[in-house]
Amino acid sequence: MSLRFLTAGESHGAALIGIIEGIPSGLALDAATLLAQARRRKLGFGRGNRQNIETDEVRIVAGVRRGFTIGSPVGLILENKDHARWAEIMRVDAPAGDAPAAREVHVPRPGHADRIGGIKYARADLRDVLERASARETAMRVALGTVARALLAELGITLSSRVVRIGSVVDETPWRDVSPDEIDASPVRAQDPVAAAAMVGEIERAKAAGDSLGGVFEVVARGVPVALGSYAQWDRRLEGEVAKTFMALNAIKGVEIGLGFGVAAIPGSQAHDEYEPGGDARTRYRSNRAGGIEGGMSTGQPIVVRAAMKPIATLMQPLDSVDLRTGEAAAAHIERSDTCAVPAAAVIGESLLALALAAAVLEKFGGDSLEELRERVRAWETTVRAR
pTM to 2 decimal places: 0.95
Amino acid residing at 110? P
Spans of the chain, pLDDT less than 50? none
User: In angstroms, what CA-CA distances link 204 with 47, 53, 211, 237?
Assistant: 11, 22, 10, 41
Measured in whole angstroms, how far is the alpha carbon of residue 18 from the centre of its chain?
15
Dihedral, CA of residue 341, residue 51, residue 32 and residue 180, to nearest 10 = 30
Report the distance separating Cα 384 and Cα 378, nearest Å. 10
Give residue 245's pLDDT. 97
Closest residue by Cα to residue 220 from 308, 272, 165, 157 = 157
Give residue 95's pLDDT. 85
Class of 4-385 in CATH: alpha beta
- The domain spans of the chain are 4-385
Strand partners of residue 217: 163, 307
Strand partners of residue 6: 19
First to last CA, the chain: 26
User: In angstroms, what CA-CA distances link 115 with 20, 29, 122, 346?
Assistant: 31, 40, 10, 28
Long-range contacts of 234-241 (CB under 8 A, 24+ apart): 236/296, 237/296, 237/297, 238/293, 238/296, 238/297, 238/298, 238/356, 238/360, 239/293, 239/296, 240/296, 241/356, 241/359, 241/360
**332-382 pLDDT, tens digit each:** 998 877 899 999 999 999 999 999 999 999 999 999 999 999 999 999 998
**189-211 pLDDT, tens digit each:** 999 999 999 999 999 999 999 99
Give residue 90's pLDDT. 94
Amino acid residing at 93? D
Closest residue by Cα to residue 246 from 259, 255, 237 = 255
